[in-house]
Amino acid sequence: MSDVVLDEPVYSTDLDANEVQEGATAGPGEVDAPDDLGVEAVLADLLGSPAESESAAVETAPDTTGLKSALEATYTIEPPAPTPVPSVAIAESVIGVDNRIRITNTDTYPWSAHASLLITARDGTLWLGTAFFIGPRVLATAGHNVFIHSPIAARQGWVRSVRVMPGRNGNELPFGSATTSRYASVTGWTVNGPNPDYDYAVIILDEDDDLGAQTGTLGFGSYSDSTLRSLYVNLSGYPSDRGSGREQWYMGGRIEDLSNRQIFYEIDTFGGQSGSAVYRITDGQRYAVGIHAYGVGSRPYNAATRITRPVFDNLLAWKNDNT
């Protein structure tokens, strides 16, 4: 059973002086420089999905065809029927035209720092998610990827295991994978949840599985409303509608709205991308400002759990305790 960190307070004011950030580490290869807006310089593949490399990884990638997002494990029952949770969208959303771009050079930073997740719940059912490395053995993700609130008693609670597959590209696992049952979250999610304001967690790999040292890591930061408002951000993850969690898809866009605990944007997503970093690029470094978790709800935008100062402090402590 994983330790539960004490719940944190909610900030109700905009404290510019308290902005903090923790740096990233570069991974393999060289990525194109971002454009002037601070979004990744990527090109759409106009000829369809590319063929997979002939140099297949030794490790066999799992078949995730037909699996759904772990978000649905918390907010639906089978057959799917919404559990009443005010102002919560149970599936991430494609808003209008789908503008996501498939990433194929996933063995190159920063794409390598994003991982596809195969989640085994307590009842043995399988689910999809995304996470991103913030340390050699620590990945940030959505709370519902590691602790499921379910009306099905056998499914409720900490998941049995998570298989972490950095930079997955179809059947290729350029960095292999690691399976763990070590996680940490906060009581705002595990005890008092499900609550979207506290939907965040970390996945902790074993000491021998320091995959983040190979992939590179994203930084993370707590920023004021004035810094975040209208900021251009990036989001890349593993959706169930494009490749069934086997392919990494990216889109950049502007932050459209804020609350004390969430960030809202029109970046297209779908189930399985929960746990993706919502990150800015500044001075050549990439810093997560939120952890993507939800679709269109009471606001007409997709949403992330905002990295407030308490969230930042927890992420930093979890990273430092497992370096």
Whether 201 and 142 have beta carbons less than 8 Å apart is answered as yes
Q: Considering all CA atoms of the chain, what is the largest pairwise distance in Å, rounded to the nearest integer?
A: 53
Cα→Cα distances 8→100, 149, 312, Å = 34, 20, 11
Helices (H), 236-294: none
Q: Pick the catalytic residue from 69, 150, 185, 274.
A: 274
Q: Is-catalytic flag, 274?
A: yes
Whether 195 and 117 have beta carbons less than 8 Å apart is answered as no
Question: Cα separation of 24 and 27, whole Å?
Answer: 9
Cα→Cα distances 271→81, 91, 129, 132, Å = 16, 6, 8, 16
Name the token pair of 223: 């920023």
Name the token pair of 102: 């498939």
Nearest Cα neighbor of 250 from 43, 102, 115 is: 102
Whether 198 and 188 have beta carbons less than 8 Å apart is answered as yes
Q: Pick the catalytic residue from 93, 112, 114, 144.
A: 144
Question: Cα separation of 212 and 205, whole Å?
Answer: 10
Question: Cα separation of 294 and 121, whole Å?
Answer: 20
Whether 209 and 15 have beta carbons less than 8 Å apart is answered as no
Question: Cα separation of 27 and 268, whole Å?
Answer: 26
Residue carrying the six token digits 């952890």: 291
Catalytic positions, please? 144, 274
